[in-house]
C-alpha cells in the first residue's frame, strides 16, 4: 500500500511528539476498575524488574452484557467530540447466541492477566457489574484519567456472514469541538501495527479484507472512544461473529487464550524499547 514508509515515519514522529507533550497522557473523570499491583512497588519477581513495570494500560471490553436490559439508557445521545452518537449498543452475537459483550469481557480479563505478569498496571473500563455502559465518552475518559501509556478497546464485528478476519481501527486526524486526535494519531497507528502483527501470529486469524485497507487496518473519524482519547488508542475487532469460521474461534476458550497472549505481545512491542519496532 502506498505510503507505508511515510506512515512509519509519521508514527514515529507522532509517538515522540505525544510523549514529549503529554508523558503518559492526561484526562478527566472516568469509571475504571483497577487491580492491586505488586505491594513492593517494583513490578517484579524476586527483585527483577519486569518489562512493563511502570506502564499503565487501559483495556476496554466493548459493550456490556446488561446493555440489552437498558435500551433507553444506551440509546441516549452523547458527545463524540465532532457530533453525537448513542451511549452504547448491545453488540453483535454469533449464530449460537454467544454475545460480543461476553466475549470481550472474557478476553479483557485474560489480557489483564497476561499484562500484569509483565509488570503492567492494568485498568478495565468495566467488569460487567454495572447496569449498562459505560457510555463511549466515558470509555475514552477512563484512559485519559488513568494517564494510560496505551489503550485498546476490544470488539468483535457484526459484518455480513461471508466477511472473514480481524482488523484494527485507528483514529483519523480530527480537530473539531472536543475532539483533537492530532497528537495521538501517529502513536496510535504504530500501536495498531504492532497489535496487527502480534494478533495474527498468535491466533492464526487472517486480517480482514472486507474493510479498511484490505490488510487489517481501518482509519475512522466517527468513534467517540477514539475521538475523545488523549492517549494512544485503537479498537481491535477480533473477528466477525456472523462468520461461521470466525465464530468457532471466538467461542473457543483456547483460542481466546492465544488471542490474549498476542494482544499482550503487541502492547509490549509498542511500549518496550527493543521489544518491537523502535519508535
Residue 13 host element (H or E)? helix 4-22
Catalytic residue among 138, 237, 251, 278: 237
Report the C-alpha gap between 125 and 184 in whole angstroms.
Answer: 20
| pLDDT tens per residue, range 169-226 | 999 999 999 999 999 999 999 999 999 999 999 999 999 999 999 999 999 999 999 9
pTM for this predicted structure: 0.83
| pLDDT tens per residue, range 60-84 | 999 999 999 999 999 999 999 989 9
Report the C-alpha gap between 28 and 209 in whole angstroms.
Answer: 37
121-124/150-157 β-pairing: unpaired
175-176/217-220 β-pairing: unpaired
> Catalytic annotation on 237?
yes
Amino acid at each position: 500500500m502506498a505510503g507505508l514508509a511515510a506512515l512509519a515515519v509519521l508514527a514515529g514522529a507522532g509517538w515522540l511528539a505525544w510523549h514529549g507533550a503529554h508523558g503518559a497522557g492526561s484526562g478527566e473523570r472516568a469509571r475504571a476498575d483497577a487491580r492491586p499491583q505488586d505491594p513492593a512497588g517494583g513490578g517484579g519477581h524476586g527483585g527483577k524488574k519486569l518489562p512493563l513495570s511502570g506502564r499503565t494500560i487501559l483495556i476496554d471490553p466493548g459493550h456490556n452484557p446488561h446493555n440489552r436490559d437498558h435500551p433507553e439508557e444506551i440509546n441516549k445521545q452523547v458527545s463524540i467530540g465532532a457530533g453525537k452518537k448513542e451511549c452504547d449498543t448491545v453488540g453483535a452475537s454469533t449464530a449460537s447466541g454467544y454475545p460480543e459483550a461476553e466475549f470481550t469481557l472474557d478476553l479483557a480479563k485474560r489480557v489483564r492477566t497476561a499484562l500484569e505478569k509483565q509488570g503492567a498496571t492494568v485498568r478495565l473500563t468495566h467488569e460487567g457489574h454495572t447496569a449498562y455502559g459505560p457510555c463511549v465518552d466515558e470509555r475514552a475518559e477512563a484512559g485519559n484519567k488513568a494517564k494510560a501509556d496505551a489503550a485498546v478497546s476490544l470488539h468483535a464485528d457484526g459484518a455480513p456472514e461471508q466477511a472473514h478476519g480481524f482488523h484494527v481501527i485507528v483514529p483519523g486526524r480530527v480537530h473539531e469541538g472536543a475532539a483533537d486526535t492530532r497528537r495521538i494519531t501517529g502513536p496510535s497507528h504504530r500501536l495498531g501495527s504492532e497489535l496487527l502483527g502480534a494478533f495474527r501470529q498468535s491466533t492464526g486469524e487472517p486480517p480482514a479484507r472486507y474493510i479498511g485497507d484490505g490488510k487489517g487496518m481501518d482509519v475512522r473519524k466517527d468513534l467517540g472512544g477514539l475521538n475523545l482519547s488523549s492517549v494512544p488508542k485503537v479498537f481491535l475487532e477480533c473477528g466477525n461473529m456472523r462468520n461461521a469460521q470466525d465464530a468457532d474461534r471466538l467461542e473457543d476458550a483456547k483460542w481466546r487464550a492465544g488471542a490474549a497472549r498476542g494482544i499482550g505481545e503487541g502492547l509490549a512491542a509498542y511500549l518496550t524499547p527493543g521489544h518491537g519496532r523502535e519508535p
